Chains A and B, each alone.
Chain A
């Protein structure tokens, strides 16, 4: 048998044509598998469709979430904070502090006297109230803060730490609830996404398993004439890649279609809360991410399947 260890010089000389033919083989395998897929159009289209749907579900969910989060983030319904001052406090001093903290916001002082007057005139208990020695109502500072929900939340914390402020109430409870819901939704997207990614991987793996079965004879012959594991594996990895890519493309098309359908009703719904709302649809970065995820899942599913099944096919 010839010496199989080439001299270093020979290796260097052979490397470039070797590398080139390796690349050529990759390209021809890629094209060949693509052609094989195209030859069995409908069946493979359905396989890709399953992958696409599985990818579209969590993505659609995710897009909905982003849009809802966007509403709560840019909420311009201006919550109103009421700061109830303690009995001994000097309202004007507190007012100065609050104005400092909530720079840029509308700040109003309603002194306990004003409050009493207001209450008296609106409630009809004026006689009784004016007869009291002590004013039972606290002074109140009203703040209409600028900024996002998170910023307002921080401001509330700061304000309630002030001495002389007994209590801070805010009418932003519903937005907090919405935020909590969005956060929960984010977890849900991750969990559902992971489950479906697992499903996509298995589904691609299964498709690849069938293809391995179909090409059993070919694998045997390739192994008989000295094909390496990498050589045998290559067409199946490309097959996985194409399935993943096809699934991702179909997923994007379906999402685009869904967005088109949902845009009008969503607009009506959300514009009633926020005039400046514009739907955050599928962006280039999302498409790129989906394609990447599809391709990675495709190759992963294929390599899992190939690893499990190719070893069992040995020439006898």
Chain B
């Protein structure tokens, strides 16, 4: 589902953030991406979203060579890939409902279907009944779950998460990870970057460790 072929990424004026990274994540797999701060985890995820482009090598998502996608085709790719950020990237002047509905609005879904799917996604993350609230009125964990609901609401085949439990307490973190596990159960390919090794120790999924831009295990 996700394949890196000898990928290197060098930011302008820096050393290589990723060097010669190759790996493949099969469909329906759930993989943890670990590594020290600055190892290149976020960079790797950004390459999958085309937020950055590799300096060398090729990235494939669903058999599609991303190097072949032009600017105009980026939105199409991003609709196939749900993302969850540590700082959730919510719109604070919009209700929870509007935040979660955004990908569906973009996809041009009808109002009824949108409402149905938004409520389903919110109930999945345990936020039923919070549709009308503003994100500012929610706790950190709840905000993170709104972000997750938004990432999965249009049922993307791939789900990425960058430090989704970054500033949550262990109990909440475990809940969030369990949530990702559930999405994986229903067939979503999941890739989660985290440096919370303790948390993922007890979870039985493949782990890929980055160190200074190289895959070490």
- State the A residues within 8 Å of B (CB): 1-2, 4, 17-18, 20-22, 24-25, 217-218, 220-229, 231, 314-316
Binds A, one of B30-38, B99-107, B167-175: B99-107
Query: With A217-B91, A222-B102, A225-B150 known to touch, is A1 a contact of B80 (CB < 8 Å)?
Result: yes
**Residues of the B chain whose Cβ atoms lie less than 8 Å from the Cβ of A20:** 110
Docked pose: A223 CA to B49 CA in angstroms: 11
Q: Which residues of B contact A217 (CB under 8 A)?
A: 89, 91
Residue of A nearest to B153 (CB): A225
Interface size on B, residues (CB 8 A): 30
Nearest chain B residue, comparing its CB with the CB of A19: B108
B79 close to A (CB within 8 Å):
yes
Interface pair B108/A25, CB less than 8 Å apart: yes
A1 touches B158 (CB 8 A): yes
Give the residue among B64, B72, B75, B109 with the most A Cβ atoms within 10 A: B75
Tell me the smallest distance from the CB of B123 to a CB of chain A, in Å: 20
B28 close to A (CB within 8 Å): no
Which residue of the partner chain, among A2, A21, A315, A316, contacts B157 with CB atoms under 8 Å?
A2
Task: Check if B51 sits within 8 Å of A220, measured CB to CB.
Answer: no
B51 CB contacts on chain A under 8 angstroms:
224, 314-316
Nearest B residue to A220, CB-CB: B89
Task: Give chain A residues whose Cβ lies under 8 Å from the Cβ of B1.
Answer: 1
B127 close to chain A: CB less than 8 A: no
Chain A neighbourhood of B110, CB < 8 A:
17, 20-21, 24
Given A2-B80, A226-B78, 5 additional A-B pairs, CB 8 A: A1-B62, A2-B157, A21-B110, A218-B91, A226-B107
CB of B208 within 8 Å of the partner chain: no
- For the complex, give the distance between the alpha carbons of A220 and B88 in Å: 12
Is there an interface contact between B76 and A226, defined as CB atoms closer than 8 Å? yes
Would you list 5 pairs from A and B whose C-beta atoms are within 8 A, ordered by A residue? A17-B110, A21-B108, A224-B51, A226-B106, A315-B51
B63 on the A face (CB < 8 A): yes
Minimum CB distance partner of B27 in chain A = A1
Bound complex: CA of A105 vs CA of B114, how far in Å?
Answer: 80
Provide the bound-state CA to CA distance between A196 and B77, in Å.
Answer: 44
- Return the chain B residue nearest A18 by Cβ: B108
Least Cβ–Cβ distance between B93 and chain A, in angstroms: 8
Residues in B neighbouring A221, C-beta threshold 8 A? 89-91, 102
**Which B residues are CB-close (under 8 A) to A222?**
102, 106
Docked Cα-Cα span, A223 to B91, in Å, equals 13
B61 surroundings in chain A (CB, below 8 A): 1
User: For A2, what are the chain B residues with a Cβ–Cβ distance below 8 Å?
Assistant: 62, 80, 157
Query: Does B83 lie at the interface of the complex (its beta carbon under 8 Å from any beta carbon of A)?
Result: yes
Let me know if B128 is at the binding interface, CB within 8 A: no
